[in-house]
Structure 1
């Protein structure tokens, strides 16, 4: 009836005439989101560039490329210890070189480093032998570096390369 339509009703919705509380009004949905943000922090990767197949001089020169930029709490810097060893007996044939890959540059060419290793006098005993270029990752709190990458190359120095002593 038209007179009844004018009278406001209490409660929610026109279906509920009695004026009591409805289920939608009483039940408050409680959704507990337990979302632990596991920040996957990992160390950046490195790639060797322009490593020669053989060494003919007293130096080994190559590039080290950091594949991605360092990002706080996501991608951590990589600390490497680089050395040149005789494959036969594991003798170290140059001074260890420590390299930190920590570039945050987005430009790829800015994340490249040039590494030069000078062979020691002991290297002359290993002419025409296979050498190993070892990259070892230095971890925090760990004294011994962990193997990272290894490349084999040959030492082929011509005779008469003893002019380094002057």
Structure 2
């Protein structure tokens, strides 16, 4: 019987009139790299009580390249410090490579002078445990003048 009946909508409800709009903000993450560095000298033997080394900062610090602070020293086979430690801040913004070279001098302690070899290591300044060398972990032979003098006697 009621085949011809039509249902008429009674008007728009609030849910039908309002269109939800969600605005999403994503914070831009910093994707800056940390500056690279390397040793310029190739010294493999310490013949005096000190070692002069040159550290080269590979690229200038910029908005994309963050500075780095490292600490360097000479360590024995057990990881004990046998020289002074030197802090090196790699933060040069210069495009001139010569201006991105840092020269440091490490002086052996009494115990260090008695060792036959050591490791030149660089650590991130925040690595208080000194367990993870950063880019530089070179084995050096120690042959100081004192050893040579004793050998000649």
TM-score by length of 1: 0.66
1:40 aligned partner: 31
Matches within 5 A, 1:2-41: 37-41=28-32
**Equivalent pair of 1:46/1:64 in contact (CA under 8 Å):** yes
Select which of 93, 99, 104 maps to 2:82: 93
2:11 aligned partner: none
Matches within 5 A, 1:97-108: 97-108=86-97
CA RMSD of aligned residues (A): 2.4
Count of aligned pairs between the two proteins: 125
Matched, 1:147 2:133: yes
Which is higher, the Rg of structure 1 or of structure 2? Answer: 1
User: Which of structures 1 and 2 has the larger relative contact order (alpha carbons within 8 angstroms, sep 6+)?
Assistant: 2
1:41-83 Cα shifts (integer Å, max 9, x gaps): 12100011114110000110010000000013x2111110101
Gaps of 5+ in 2: 1-24
In 2, Cα distance between equivalents of 1:104 and 1:97: 21
1:9-28 Cα shifts (integer Å, max 9, x gaps): xxxxxxxxxxxxxxxxxxxx
1:54 aligned partner: 45
**Equivalent pair of 1:64/1:114 in contact (CA under 8 Å):** yes
In 2, Cα distance between equivalents of 1:160 and 1:152: 19
CA separation of 1:161/1:58 partners in 2, compared to 1, >3 Å: closer, same or farther? farther
Gaps of 5+ in 1: 1-33
**What is the CA distance between 1:36 and its match in structure 2?**
6.9
Equivalent position SS for 1:95: coil
CA separation of 1:123/1:144 partners in 2, compared to 1, >3 Å: closer, same or farther? closer
**Equivalent pair of 1:83/1:92 in contact (CA under 8 Å):** yes
